[in-house]
């Protein structure tokens, strides 16, 4: 053990590469001519990576920007993104397509909100960034460039000026958490920032890191802070040289705006537009939703003076287009439903969106699902057909939305919590959703579950589900699609309870005991093998 410790001490000292830079001092950092923009971009492209955190099933749980440091063994990134339920590894990807995996970290600081994850493999990847040893002036005189993976999709550079930011105490007061024990001043960048990502390096003209930009969830609005690179560097130098598993990561002090799904979070207005679009598409145009039309018939003629007058009769009849249902369901209406599921989940998962807007999004989806639950006759059949067709594509190019009637089957213990398994009507596939996500309308893992009232996901219950598929697993030859639920409502009863016997020891999802020990070891790749 002692040898191991000594070995890591040596490796880490080299890896962080801080001793070497310390000798170089800050003169060399400031003396150089500013890099031409193209060169700065190349520097960023080879060192700024997209960090995707995954659970033991390999499903992505969030995205952040990371920066390669030192001799290229470590990547600094947003701590909060790493600290999510079930996250066991991170994949880093650079713009040139180079990828590496990290399963351990060498440093994590709850107040600074950053962690250094160790890239797998013996050889360093390539030289990383230099972290500025001294704090930069925050009077607006320093031109900086933030480099980050916008919405987890594209490396983007944005220019601005370094200015003073909040103190740790002010930030704590603003977000409503306990102030840090040690004094800490943050910086800020005047001008644009790269949106939809946290952990972006803020570079000076020479391409050295002067700060790391973090997305923090304020009360009702996101707060941007820049952690001084000098403070991170100092903390790295005094860090105990050892590598630990992600499970041992400390939580960040700050409530973070973790980007949980790749891509932009839609605006609440965009979601409202989707809801209007569904209402328009589902409403029968011919009868305007009334189910009946007035039919005018000629029943005869008579003469009045020299004029022929037509006798007509107006009859109220069942609308031929919708069969009296008032609703029309088709594939294009179903497509809008899948978009709704996707948009709603993105809003619900984004803690940077105002709580009120997230609640409104949930209410909107629930309203639509309740309407789907009330479909009858041909529009219900059309909805089922569209859902079956969509489900037939499986997890495919995830993430993608599904809305379906489904019946609650068993619960399964996954590596990151209990899953409820649903059997969608007339589909050979099963859907599995993390149980805690089924009662949490917003901010997964952050806010206390809102009370949903009486509806309980009992064994055999029918529901209308709006979910987003993330990946797939094989269960006894049947594909189980792993989904994140946006919302569910009790649905129409569409069949008897499943005839399949519950496996021994399997509990009713509605009455499961959260305190019971997992039936399988965490991280067992065959955990769905029953
Ligand atoms: Zn009609």
Q: How far is the CA of 380 from the centre of ligand 1 (A)?
A: 14
Whether 18 and 162 share a structural domain: yes
Ligand 1 centroid–CA 321 distance in Å is 5
Confidence of residue 480 (pLDDT cuts 50, 70, 90): confident
Least confident of 82-86, 185-189, 303-307, 351-355: 351-355
Residue 182's domain is classified under what CATH number? 2.40.10.120
Rounded Cα gap, residues 424 and 111, in angstroms:
45
CA 161 – ligand 1 centroid, Å: 60
* Cα-to-centroid distance, 289 and ligand 1 (Å): 6
* Ligand 1 centroid, distance to 371 Cα (angstroms): 16
Position 258 in a domain: no
Tell me phi and psi for residue 256, to 5 degrees.
-95, 155
Ligand 1 midpoint to CA 282 (Å): 10
Q: Rounded to the nearest whole angstrom, what is the distance from the C-alpha of residue 382 to the centroid of ligand 1? A: 15
Residue 264 pLDDT exceeds 60: yes
Sign of dihedral through CA atoms 441, 443, 445, 447?
negative
| Sign of torsion over alpha carbons 392, 398, 400, 406 | positive
Give the separation between CA 494 and CA 376, rounded to whole angstroms.
11
Q: Are residues 488 and 359 in the same domain?
A: yes
**CA 305, chain centre distance (Å):** 78
Minimum mean pLDDT range among 98-107, 467-476, 504-513:
504-513
Centre of ligand 1 to C-alpha 287, Å, is 4
Handedness of CA 78, 80, 81, 83 (dihedral sign): positive
Banded model confidence at residue 515, pLDDT cuts 50, 70, 90? very low
CA 293 – ligand 1 centroid, Å? 8
Provide the whole-model pTM.
Answer: 0.79
Residue 60 has pLDDT above 50, yes or no: yes
State the distance from the centre of ligand 1 to the C-alpha of 379, rounded, in angstroms: 11
Find the 467 Cα to ligand 1 centroid distance in Å: 29
Confirm whether 427 is domain-assigned: yes
Convert 48-60 into a string of H (helix), E (strand) and C (coil): EEEEEEEECCCCE
Q: What's the CA-to-centroid distance between 285 and ligand 1, angstroms?
A: 6
Q: How far is the CA of 377 from the centre of ligand 1 (A)?
A: 13
Domain containing 314 equals 288-326
Residue 318 Cα to ligand 1 midpoint, Å, equals: 8
Looking at the fold, whether 197 and 293 belong to one and the same domain comes out as no
Alpha carbon distance 241, 248 (integer Å):
15
Cα(228)–Cα(213) distance, integer angstroms: 9
Same domain, 299 and 363: no
**Ranges assigned E (strand) in 319-376:** none
The reply to whether 302 and 389 lie within a common domain is no
Residue at 265 is within a domain: no
Cβ contacts of 115 within 8 Å, gap of 6 or more? 76, 77, 78, 79, 82, 105, 107, 108, 109, 249
Residue 45 alpha carbon to ligand 1 centre in Å: 57
Region 21-39 average pLDDT: 58
- Convert the pLDDT of each residue in 210-250 to its tens digit: 999 999 887 767 788 999 999 999 999 988 889 999 999 99
| CA–centroid distance, residue 328 to ligand 1 (Å) | 7
* CA 100 / ligand 1 centre spacing (Å): 57
Q: How far is the CA of 280 from the centre of ligand 1 (A)?
A: 13
For residue 150, what are the β-bridge partners? 154
Q: Is the pLDDT of residue 160 over 50?
A: yes
Partners of 417 in beta bridges? 414
CA 28, CA 50: separation in Å to the nearest integer? 29
- Distance from residue 342's CA to the centre of ligand 1 (Å): 29
Q: What is the mean pLDDT of residues 95-119?
A: 95
CA–centroid distance, residue 295 to ligand 1 (Å): 13
Asked whether residue 240 falls in the same domain as residue 302, the answer is no
Centroid of ligand 1 to alpha carbon of 339 (angstroms): 25
| Domain annotation covers residue 256 | no
Given a contact cutoff of 8 angstroms between Cβ atoms, the answer to whether 492 and 405 are in contact is yes
323 Cα–ligand 1 center, Å:
6
Q: For residue 120, is it within any domain?
A: yes
204 within domain boundaries: yes
383 plus 433 within the same structural domain: yes
Q: How far is CA 248 from CA 60, 82, 244, 257, 496, in A?
A: 19, 11, 6, 21, 46
Distance 143 CA to ligand 1 centre (A): 63
CA distance 2 to 367: 62
User: 212 and 292 share a domain?
Assistant: no
Considering the domain architecture, whether residues 306 and 436 belong to the same structural domain is answered as: no
Q: Same domain for 140 and 189?
A: yes
Residue 509 inside a domain? The answer is yes
Write out the DSSP string of 399-449: SEEEEEEEEEEEEEEETTEEEEEEEETT-S-EEEEEGGGGT--SSTTTSPP
Same domain, 213 and 311: no
Whether residue 495 sits in one domain with residue 389: yes
Residue 339 binned pLDDT confidence (cut-offs 50, 70, 90): very high
At residue 374, does pLDDT exceed 60? yes
- 9 vs 218, which has greater pLDDT? 218
Is there a domain that residue 254 lies in? no
CA 333 / ligand 1 centre spacing (Å) = 15
Query: 256 C-alpha to center of ligand 1: Å?
Result: 49
pLDDT in tens, 122-131: 788 899 999 9
The number of distinct structural domains making up the chain is 3
Residue 56: Cβ-neighbour burial (10 angstroms; 0-12, 13-18, 19+)? middle
């Amino acid at each position: 053990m002692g040898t191991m410790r000594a070995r890591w001490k040596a490796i880490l000292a080299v890896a962080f590469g801080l001793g070497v830079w310390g000798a170089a001092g800050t003169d060399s950092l400031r003396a150089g001519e500013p890099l031409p923009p193209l060169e700065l971009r190349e520097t960023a492209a080879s060192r700024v990576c997209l960090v995707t955190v995954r659970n033991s099933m390999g499903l992505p749980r969030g995205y952040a920007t990371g920066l390669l440091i030192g001799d290229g063994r470590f990547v600094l990134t947003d701590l909060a993104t790493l600290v999510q339920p079930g996250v066991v590894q991170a994949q880093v990807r650079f713009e040139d397509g180079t990828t590496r995996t990290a399963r351990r970290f060498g440093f994590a600081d709850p107040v600074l909100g950053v962690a250094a994850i160790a890239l797998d493999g013996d050889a360093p990847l390539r030289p990383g960034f230099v972290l500025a040893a001294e704090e930069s002036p925050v009077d607006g005189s320093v031109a900086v460039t933030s480099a980050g993976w916008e919405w987890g999709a594209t490396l983007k550079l944005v220019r601005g000026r370094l200015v003073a930011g909040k103190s740790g105490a002010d930030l704590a007061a603003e977000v409503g958490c306990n102030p840090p024990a040690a004094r800490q001043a943050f910086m800020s960048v005047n001008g644009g920032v790269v949106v939809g990502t946290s952990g972006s390096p803020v570079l000076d003209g020479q391409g050295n890191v002067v700060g790391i930009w973090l997305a923090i969830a304020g009360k009702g609005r996101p707060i941007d802070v820049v952690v001084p690179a000098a403070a991170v560097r100092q903390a790295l130098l005094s860090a105990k040289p050892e590598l630990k598993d992600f499970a041992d990561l400390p939580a960040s002090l700050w409530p973070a705006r973790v980007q949980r799904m790749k891509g932009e979070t839609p605006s609440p207005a965009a979601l409202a537009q989707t809801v209007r679009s569904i209402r328009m598409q589902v409403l029968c145009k011919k009868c305007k939703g009334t189910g009946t039309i007035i039919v005018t018939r000629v029943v005869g003629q008579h003469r009045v003076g020299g004029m022929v007058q037509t006798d007509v009769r107006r009859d109220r009849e069942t609308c031929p287009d919708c069969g009296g249902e008032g609703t029309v369901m088709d594939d294009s209406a179903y497509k809008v439903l899948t978009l709704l599921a996707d948009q709603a989940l993105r809003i619900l998962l984004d803690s940077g969106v105002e709580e009120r807007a997230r609640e409104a999004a949930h209410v909107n989806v629930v309203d639509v699902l309740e309407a789907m639950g009330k479909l009858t006759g041909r529009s219900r059949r059309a909805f089922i057909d569209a859902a079956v067709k969509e489900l037939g594509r499986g997890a495919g190019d995830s993430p993608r939305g599904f809305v379906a009637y489904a019946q609650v089957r068993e619960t399964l213990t996954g590596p990151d919590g209990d899953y409820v398994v649903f059997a969608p009507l007339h589909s050979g596939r099963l859907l599995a959703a993390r149980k805690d996500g089924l009662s949490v309308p917003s901010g997964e893992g952050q806010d206390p579950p809102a009370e949903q009232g009486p509806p309980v996901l009992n064994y055999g219950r029918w529901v209308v589900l709006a979910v987003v598929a993330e990946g797939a697993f094989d269960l006894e030859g049947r594909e189980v699609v792993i989904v994140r639920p946006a919302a569910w409502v009790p649905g129409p009863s569409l069949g008897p309870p499943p005839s399949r016997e519950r496996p021994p020891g399997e509990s009713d999802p509605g009455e499961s005991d959260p305190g019971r020990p997992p039936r399988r070891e965490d991280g067992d790749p065959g955990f769905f093998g029953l």
